[in-house]
Chain A
Amino acid sequence: MDFWEYLSDRHQQLLADASQHASAVLQCMVAATLLGVLIGVVTYRSEWAGNLATLSTSTILTIPSLAMIGLLIPVLGLGVPPTVTALTLYGLLPIVRNAIVGLRGVDPSLVDAAKGIGMSRPARLLRVELPLAWPPILTGIRVSTQMLMGIAAIAAFASGPGLGNEIFRGIASLGSKNALNQVLAGTLGIIVLALLFDAAYVLLGRLTISRGIRV
């Protein structure tokens, strides 16, 4: 069976895996974005808190993903919970870092102006600082998503959802005639998903970044 035959033969299974993969990444990205921006907002104004946030999120990133999932299994069991936890944690770093850099990079005279015309602290944050810091935050989100696409494949190790199952099955049955096709299908599927997500982010950027600050 060559690769194309394999694809047409298994396309239903593959599509189900791909959609699960995409949905896992998307949901974890939403969680990571909310959490990451929140951490950024809370910490950016203090030198040490900001550094602490960046440092701890980058420490998380240095843990090999397989080890991380392995460590989470005894605590959270198998399946979705360890997958979601691991993906969200990995997704944090670029978002937290870019949120802090973005918020710190807002021209202080604009913040001063916002204060001066009588904007309250939440209004300043929501209407001035976050919109101005949004382009770097969105870049962080893109980087995170690319990263999670790959890491999500490891989730199959904890019987998580997604295209990782395809790859793991292929590796497990190495030598059988479909082994290579399985690994290839899983890998290519992840690449295609990553490209689709990236295109979606470009569109999101066009829609959400004000024309006044778009480069």
Chain B
Amino acid sequence: MSENDEGAAAPDHTTGATIELESLTKLYPGNPQPAVENVSMEIKAGETVIFVGPSGCGKSTTLKMINRLIEPSGGRIRINGEDVTDIDPVKLRRKVGYAIQSSGLFPHMTVAQNIALVPKMIGWSKSRIRSRVEEMLDLVGLDAGEFHGRYPRQLSGGQQQRVGVARALAADPPVLLMDEPFGAVDPITRDHLQDELIRLQRELHKTIVFVTHDFDEAIKIGDRIAVLRERSHIAQFDTPEAILTNPADDFVSGFVGAGAALKRLNLTRVRDVGITDYPTVTVEDPLQHIFDRLRESGTNEILLLDRRGRPYKWLRRGDLMRAKGSLARAGTLVHDTVTRDATLRDALEAVLTDNAGRVAVTGRRGAYEGVVDMETLMNSVHELLEADRLDALEHQHDLEEIRAAQTHTEQEGFGGVGGRA
């Protein structure tokens, strides 16, 4: 299992590295039950993996073993193919970003000093550090000039968390570990921070391992989710879609909670489903032309766009009859539109509140692109669910094979992990 692109010349940013955990175990002295038992998983480069599970299930312990804040009692950790189980932990941690709950910023240092810590330790030049600090502040959406010299206590919780992420990423590590980073901020700020993280990850392609107990957060952020039960046993390790549509067992479905199908809608964007074309006219078209369009389209309704091509009004046949030559008062104003980036859930919400059960989709600068209605939504959701179900079945099959192999080796008595008390 060798990865030889380890030293590949990094472009502007170091992108992610693979992480392999092999039978990772943590035993605490005086406790015969391991806190983490035999965790094996492979995390792909550039992937965001979420560890989710009830409190006390060992998810945090597992995370902290990756940068060896907690030394594993057994098993191996490989980052980008390199075995890091026995290297100097200080050296390892400088290559692995670490962000924690309530930011962990040092209160006696300014924002800039906090961010500069790791680059300084690995010996960057002063000017490089200075420009890096600004770049990082910019990256997390804080104004460098304004926040540079502030102390953590002069920041809001959300801003502190952003600086915490900036500090973790300052030396451009390929791997970022996040331990319930958004656990201590209010729901609205948390939502913003999650969006920011998704945007950031789209730019940076780090390998992120993220611990949370909030399943909704997990499905929002994760490429894959590991649902962990006690002693960090992996109950299911799969894409959010697969876990939602086909939870492996009762434990997982209990964790997924009610409304899995609705949550599933959050994972698909309008751009991914078929939008239907609709007859449109613009306000500049002569009335006669509008009549013709309506007649030839065979629908009962037509969408009127304004001068910039933005949805303006829905016109029905009856409206036109009553219009008597002027469109000024005819039709119903379009009060809600969705963008192509909106989730299906948003689209459903808009469709449900619309009295005719359809909503216009807009693109750049609010220009009309198409329409989604109840029927297209229903069809695409059914297709999605069916596809997810098939995927999940396949993954589950794989997982079972791995487990079977594991039990097999255990029964052979191989690997001296257990029974050290």
Q: Is B262 an interface residue (CB 8 A)?
A: no
Q: Given A110-B104, A116-B98, A117-B168: A210 and B90 within 8 A (CB)? A: no
Are B93's CB and A117's CB within 8 A? yes
Per-residue CB contact flags for chain A residues 130-169 toward chain B (1 = under 8 Å, else 0) read 0110000000000000000000000000000000000000
Q: Given A109-B102, A118-B93, A118-B94: A213 and B117 within 8 A (CB)? A: no
Q: Is A31 an interface residue (CB 8 A)?
A: no
| Chain A residues closer than 8 Å to B13, beta-carbon distance | none
Are B151's CB and A211's CB within 8 A? yes
Closest Cβ neighbor of A132 among chain B residues: B108
Within the complex, the shortest CB–CB distance from A127 to chain B, in Å, comes to: 8
Count of A residues near B, CB < 8 Å? 20
| Chain B residues closer than 8 Å to A74, beta-carbon distance | none
Q: Given A117-B98, A118-B91, A120-B90: A112 and B104 within 8 A (CB)? A: yes
In Å, the complex CA distance between A123 and B168 comes to: 17
Per-residue CB contact flags for chain B residues 38-75 toward chain A (1 = under 8 Å, else 0) read 00000000000000000000000000000101000000
Are B118's CB and A118's CB within 8 A? yes
Partner of B117 from A109, A119, A131 at Cβ < 8 Å: A119
Q: Is A113 an interface residue (CB 8 A)?
A: yes
Q: Is B107 an interface residue (CB 8 A)?
A: yes
| Chain A residues closer than 8 Å to B69, beta-carbon distance | 112, 115-116
Q: Given A109-B100, A113-B98, A213-B108: A118 and B152 within 8 A (CB)? A: no
Within the complex, the shortest CB–CB distance from A13 to chain B, in Å, comes to: 46
Q: Is B159 an interface residue (CB 8 A)?
A: no
Partner of A210 from B100, B104, B151, B167 at Cβ < 8 Å: B151
| Chain B residues closer than 8 Å to A116, beta-carbon distance | 67, 69, 93, 98, 100, 104, 177
Within the complex, the shortest CB–CB distance from B92 to chain A, in Å, comes to: 8
Are B106's CB and A128's CB within 8 A? yes
Are B107's CB and A132's CB within 8 A? yes
Within the complex, the shortest CB–CB distance from A109 to chain B, in Å, comes to: 6
Are B151's CB and A112's CB within 8 A? no
Closest Cβ neighbor of B64 among chain A residues: A116
| Chain B residues closer than 8 Å to A117, beta-carbon distance | 93-94, 97-98, 117-118, 167-168
Within the complex, the shortest CB–CB distance from A143 to chain B, in Å, comes to: 22
In Å, the complex CA distance between A109 and B179 comes to: 11
Q: Is A114 an interface residue (CB 8 A)?
A: yes
Are A210's CB and B108's CB within 8 A? yes
Interface centre among B96, B104, B106 (most CB of A within 10 A): B106
| Chain B residues closer than 8 Å to A212, beta-carbon distance | 107-110, 151-153
- Scan residues 54-109 of chain A and give those whose CB is less than 8 A from a CB of chain B: 109
In Å, the complex CA distance between A177 and B353 comes to: 103
Within the complex, the shortest CB–CB distance from B117 to chain A, in Å, comes to: 6
| Chain B residues closer than 8 Å to A128, beta-carbon distance | 106
Per-residue CB contact flags for chain A residues 190-215 toward chain B (1 = under 8 Å, else 0) read 00000000000000000000111100
| Chain B residues closer than 8 Å to A210, beta-carbon distance | 107-109, 151
Within the complex, the shortest CB–CB distance from B60 to chain A, in Å, comes to: 11
In Å, the complex CA distance between A132 and B109 comes to: 10
Q: Is B121 an interface residue (CB 8 A)?
A: yes
Are A119's CB and B104's CB within 8 A? no
Partner of A112 from B97, B100, B110 at Cβ < 8 Å: B100
In Å, the complex CA distance between A116 and B175 comes to: 13
Q: Given A117-B118, A119-B117, A211-B151: A109 and B93 within 8 A (CB)? A: no
Other CB < 8 Å A-B pairs besides A113-B106, A115-B93, A116-B100, 10 of them?
Answer: A109-B100, A112-B69, A112-B100, A113-B104, A114-B106, A116-B67, A116-B93, A118-B91, A118-B118, A119-B117
22 contacts between A and B (CB under 8 A): A109-B101, A110-B104, A112-B104, A113-B98, A113-B100, A113-B104, A114-B106, A116-B93, A117-B97, A117-B98, A118-B92, A118-B93, A118-B94, A118-B118, A119-B121, A210-B151, A211-B151, A212-B108, A212-B110, A212-B152, A212-B153, A213-B107
Which A residues contact B (CB, under 8 angstroms)?
109-110, 112-120, 123, 127-128, 131-132, 210-213
